[in-house]
Amino acid sequence: MLVSVLSKFSACIGGLALCISLQAQIYTPAPANLEARKTFQDNKYGLFIHWGLSSMLGDGEWVMNNRNIKVEDYKRLLPAFYPAQFDADKWVQTAKNAGMKYIVFITRHHDGFSNWDTKQSDWKITNTPFKRDVLKELAAACKKEGIKLGLYYSTLDWYREDYPHETGRTGQGTGRTGKGNYASYLQFMKNQLTELLTNYGEIMSIWFDGHWDQTNPEGAHDRSSRIDWRYEEIYGLIHSLQPQCMIGNNHHLTPLPGEDFQMFERDLPGENKSGLSFQEASQEVPLETCETINGAWGYDIKDRRYKTVKQVIQLLVGAAGRNANLLLNVGPMPSGLIQPEFTDTLAAAGKWLEKYGETIYGTRGGPIAPQSWGVSTQKGKKIYLHVFKQPYGNMILLPGFKEKVKQVQVFINRQPVKFKQQAEGLIIQTEGISFDSADEVIDIELR
């Protein structure tokens, strides 16, 4: 719902008589949306899936741009795509075994290829020899297994002529000569989003990406956009079709009105190792970090930088301790299978979650900021200290901690842990506890 303070305008959808009057700029999320945000935060952990025509080249999802492949040549992937081992149930099972509660799937990446049976373009999966609407199958499989489904949607397009490619930072080598026309491109996106939010059941989120194509690089002083994306119209449309649907935009900026969560790419909130995360963590909306399980988003045959089970666990826990979700990515093979290096690691981390899930799901960031030894989470009368390595001096101090503590235990075996409550805070003695696992959890119970 958008309430008027500034301008007022109308958006007509797909030439239908359905015209919604949208009024900028204060955004009041619907009750169902606020509820969805809570569920999202409780769920904590999701599977990101980058997959499409580009997977065939085994060189990541940016291959069209990186190799300056012309649209005319790139098109030759279309008659060659037949993911014989695609099985939506298997993908969903992989997520479930990993302890994940949601999936975010690439419906359309920067190469503009639609992974569903869109009526708005011929550049789509149902025009490959495979013919199947994989999104339909994935949506059904998710529904059956109680896994929520979010949809990644690129606002940047390296394929279409009407995308304002002249002012784009990327996609300059794909041979487009026509004139960009944002009004036409915007209508196309709205029509596609209408399909996605009408024909595939309840959609948890729309995960936008591509805004940065029209700005100076991250970290630049001026990050203004060279085009007016008219997000109020796009977001208004989404929320009118599915009020609970959470909108996020990977623009690496402070959330804009109409956005329901904030994402961090390859960084935990507050970090900026990627050089993409100059934005501050929002206090208002849920946070989500997305990361790759190796070094690439889309299938990349040169990439063997597989994260270990320990790294995956610490990523998830590190996110939870910063009050954020983790959206962990896999790039399935062109066959449709997710490679065993990924599924094995995901399953092993999932085993850890079977034991330690209580300290992650349904929690929020704990009372103490991330420390050299680890992070904290909390839920009700419980505070969980997630200790990644032996604390200095075998002592953990929670400065200024005032609440009365009932008991402190090692989470996994209920071994009592000594503690003192003093003026400077709560002091926990970790002598005798071994810290060789990925995450040793110390469980503080409040009175």
- Tell the residue number behind the tokens 């203004």, with chain if given: 224
The residue (of 219 and 432) whose beta carbon lies closer to ligand JFZ is 219
Pick the closest to residue 171 from 74, 251, 68, 57 (CA basis): 68
Which chain residues interact with ligand JFZ by CB under 6 A? Answer: 61-62, 209, 212, 218, 250, 265, 276, 290, 297
Pick the closest to residue 334 from 172, 129, 66 (CA basis): 129
The residue (of 62 and 356) whose beta carbon lies closer to ligand JFZ is 62
In the complex, minimum distance from the CB of residue 218 to ligand JFZ, in angstroms, rounded to a whole number: 6
Largest CA distance in the chain: 71
The CA angle 209-307-343, to the nearest 5 degrees, is 85
Q: Which strand (E) or helix (H) includes residue 365? A: strand 364-365
In the complex, minimum distance from the CB of residue 313 to ligand JFZ, in angstroms, rounded to a whole number: 21
In the complex, minimum distance from the CB of residue 252 to ligand JFZ, in angstroms, rounded to a whole number: 7
Pick the closest to residue 388 from 316, 290, 301, 326 (CA basis): 316
- Tell the residue number behind the tokens 């991250």, with chain if given: 218
Pick the closest to residue 419 from 396, 387, 391 (CA basis): 396
In the complex, minimum distance from the CB of residue 363 to ligand JFZ, in angstroms, rounded to a whole number: 25
In the complex, minimum distance from the CB of residue 105 to ligand JFZ, in angstroms, rounded to a whole number: 12
The residue (of 209 and 260) whose beta carbon lies closer to ligand JFZ is 209
End-to-end CA distance of the chain: 41
Task: Report the C-alpha gap between 106 and 120 in whole angstroms.
Answer: 17
The residue (of 276 and 397) whose beta carbon lies closer to ligand JFZ is 276
Long-range contacts (CB closer than 8 Å, 24 or more residues apart) made by 10-13: 11/190, 11/233, 11/236, 11/237, 13/190, 13/191, 13/194, 13/237
In the complex, minimum distance from the CB of residue 46 to ligand JFZ, in angstroms, rounded to a whole number: 13
The residue (of 118 and 249) whose beta carbon lies closer to ligand JFZ is 249
In the complex, minimum distance from the CB of residue 151 to ligand JFZ, in angstroms, rounded to a whole number: 13
User: What tokens were used for 358?
Assistant: 């209580």
The partner residues of 108 in beta bridges, in order of sequence, read 114, 153
In the complex, minimum distance from the CB of residue 343 to ligand JFZ, in angstroms, rounded to a whole number: 20
Cα-Cα-Cα-Cα dihedral of 148, 154, 160, 164, to 10°? 150
CA distances from 310 to 94, 275, 279, 373, 386 (A): 18, 24, 28, 15, 13
**69, 53 contact by CB (below 8 A):** no
The residue (of 61 and 195) whose beta carbon lies closer to ligand JFZ is 61
The residue (of 61 and 162) whose beta carbon lies closer to ligand JFZ is 61
Task: Report the C-alpha gap between 391 and 404 in whole angstroms.
Answer: 23
The residue (of 299 and 352) whose beta carbon lies closer to ligand JFZ is 299
**422, 405 contact by CB (below 8 A):** no
The residue (of 250 and 363) whose beta carbon lies closer to ligand JFZ is 250
Task: Report the C-alpha gap between 405 and 374 in whole angstroms.
Answer: 21
Q: Which burial class, exposed, middle or buried, applies to 178 when counting CB atoms under 10 A from its CB (0-12, 13-18, 19+)?
A: exposed
User: What tokens were used for 145?
Assistant: 């297994």
The residue number whose beta carbon is nearest to ligand JFZ equals 212
Identify each DSSP E strand in 276-352 by its residue range. 287-292, 324-330
In the complex, minimum distance from the CB of residue 297 to ligand JFZ, in angstroms, rounded to a whole number: 4
Q: Which strand (E) or helix (H) includes residue 262? A: strand 262-265
The residue (of 123 and 401) whose beta carbon lies closer to ligand JFZ is 123
The residue (of 29 and 286) whose beta carbon lies closer to ligand JFZ is 286
